Structure 1
Amino acid sequence: MARKQKKLTRKQRLQQQEAVTRQRQTRGWVSPNEKAKQRQELEEDMAPLMAIVETGVGSSEENLFFLLADSADMVVGPEFNEIFAEPLVTVPTYISVAEKLGFASPDELFDLPEEEQNDKKAQIVEETTRRLLTDDLRQEILAALDGLRQRLKKEGYRAEAARAAGLQLVLGDRKSKGLWPTLGLVQAIMLRSLEAGFELVSVTMDDEAAEDDEDDDSLAALYQKLGDPELDNKLEQAIKKIPGLENYLGKQVDKIWQEGEKALFDGVLNLGLFDEAELDAGAEIFNRVMTEAADEAEAESEPAAASSVKEQTQDLFNQLDAYLVELFTPERLEQIRARLKTVVEEEDYPAQYTPYIKMMSEAMDEADAIEYERAFLFKALMGEMQTRPYDETDDEEEDGEDEN
Structure 2
Amino acid sequence: MKQPILVLSVVLLALQGSAPFAQVGAQPPERCEQGTQTDGAIYLICLPEDRPWNGDLVIFAHGYVAFNEPIALPDLELPDGTLIPDLVNGLGYAFATTSYRVNGLAVLEGTEDVIDLVEVFSQLHGEPGRVYLTGGSEGGLVTALAVEQHPEVFDGGLAACGPIGDFRDQIDYWGDFRVVFDHFFPMLIPGSPVDIPDEVIENWDAIYAPAVSDAIEADPDATDQLLQVTGAPIDPKDPASVEETVLGLLWYNVFATNDGVDKLNGQPYGNRLRVYRGSDPDLLLNRTVARFSAEESALETIEKSYRTSGDLVSPLITLHTTGDPIIPYWHERAYRAKVAANGDSSFHVNIPVLRYGHCEFKNYELLVAFALLVFKSSGQELAGVRNVLPLERDWQAYASLAREYGAIR
TM bin, normalised by shorter chain, reads: under 0.3
TM-score (norm 1): 0.23
TM-score (norm 2): 0.23
Kindly indicate which of the two structures has a greater share of residues assigned to strand. 2
Kindly indicate which of the two structures has a greater share of residues assigned to helix. 1
Bigger-Rg structure (1/2): 1
